[in-house]
Structure 1
């Protein structure tokens, strides 16, 4: 476990690759504005997995940016997201930004491996995340987007406010979908899309 200098447990992992990732995201033109192709991909994620919320998420040193976002209501405008699910459930607008210490995608990026949490409350490390109390997130399924340069640009993920039995099939699905999106990103970079 990692502790900060004051002795508090850090629930969000240290991300030493963030500066390199930010440079690569800028090079690709990602990470600071919504993208209709990523919104479409997030919608595809939701359809394939049956999850109510899905994201294409790019992460910098301080925050997460949902370049692609799908919510059950289809709302994804606004200025300050602390809770995708809570704001959408309340009928308000949903922002594209979330603090880096909220959610599970920063873990996926640092680990560089997919993460399956069928019920986040089963894992003390993850149950203490702010999205559990503030939003009511109970399940998470995410995979890293590792590009041709070897940099983990961000993640694709789906979340639900109910526990979900993702299982091995969910793991394989999210990994396959991440590979599919990376192919699209490479085609775009090469001038194909």
Structure 2
């Protein structure tokens, strides 16, 4: 395979980053699914270190990881409770010049290093100096659309012979994650159906992703009231009016605690009204798949001065939240109470 040009490499990184954003994987939060795959990889290959690593255009994100327990007591705990990590010296992220996974992503094929010291281009890598890695086996992690998202890899502190059986086993293990990516895409398709309902909602609604509250979606009412901003822009920085009245603090609480948070009353001047208006904000944590950690926050704003009864607003907001939570459990229903026509989405 001919090496990619710098322009091709840059476009591939941009495509990969966008795909990670769409799938809700463009952050460092650990996930049980990926941790289990890392543990299986370590067990299958008898390696002390294993990772499920996603690589964007800026960094590597180890959303799945297995390292040896720190003590004999931890070994016993690992047998009884599952995975135990000693991550005091190992972060869940690294720059793109660290380790060997970026090479796997760039070349798009499995990389087996029986002894790193046999390869001048690799033996000076920081991973060798920092962790004493001597051998490495990395497999490209592709989704069901063919995009390489990162790697599933194992490493050892001694030279190893990565034979054909181990290489094929790692390839098969990596392919088990295809169903996870398909599930996420299925849920995203259902989200789009729900977004079509949101577009006609009489209240501002936005969906943000991650602890930085990147704007994933907002309906027309949200854009008209609080400003139209690009998709995946950091909400706190681009929606400064909402931040000033404490909306993003409430969203922080929802994301951190996993519980719905309410900002009961906030006065804010909107783009579609010359005078300040009073809003309440309901912030509901959401997931991109049933067993995934909290991935974002669904925020519904209710304007106390609009000509809709307060009870109707509360019912609509509660149903929006319930319907979105059903997506995480694999369910999807019909129209929401209070649905109205019109409304143009932004941040789609």
Normalised by the shorter chain, which TM-score bucket?
0.7 to 0.9
- Mapped pair 1:105 → 2:105: no
TM-score computed with the length of structure 1 as normaliser: 0.79
TM-score computed with the length of structure 2 as normaliser: 0.45
Aligned to 2:132: 136
Q: Which runs of 5+ in 2 are unaligned?
A: 4-8, 70-83, 188-288, 291-348
Q: Residue 177 of structure 2: SS of its match in structure 1?
A: helix
- Mapped pair 1:127 → 2:123: yes
Pick one of 144, 149, 166 that aligns with 1:148.
Answer: 144
Shift of 1:42: 0.8
Is contact 1:42–1:69 with CA below 8 Å preserved after alignment?
Answer: yes
Deviations 1:100-156 (A, max 9, x none): 101111011111101111111111111121111222110101111111222100110
Alignment of 1:16-27 (within 5 A): 16-27=11-22
Distance 2:150 2:10 in 1: 12
Distance 2:135 2:31 in 1: 25
Shift of 1:15: 5.1
Shift of 1:40: 1.3
Pick one of 74, 80, 85 that aligns with 1:75.
Answer: 85
Cα RMSD, aligned residues only: 1.9
Alignment of 1:82-101 (within 5 A): 92-101=88-97
Q: Which runs of 5+ in 1 are unaligned?
A: 3-13, 78-91
Aligned to 1:63: 59
Aligned to 2:336: none
Aligned residues: 167
Deviations 1:15-46 (A, max 9, x none): 54111111101111113121111111111111
Name the larger-Rg structure: 2
Distance 2:93 2:10 in 1: 18
Distance 2:168 2:106 in 1: 19
Aligned to 2:316: none
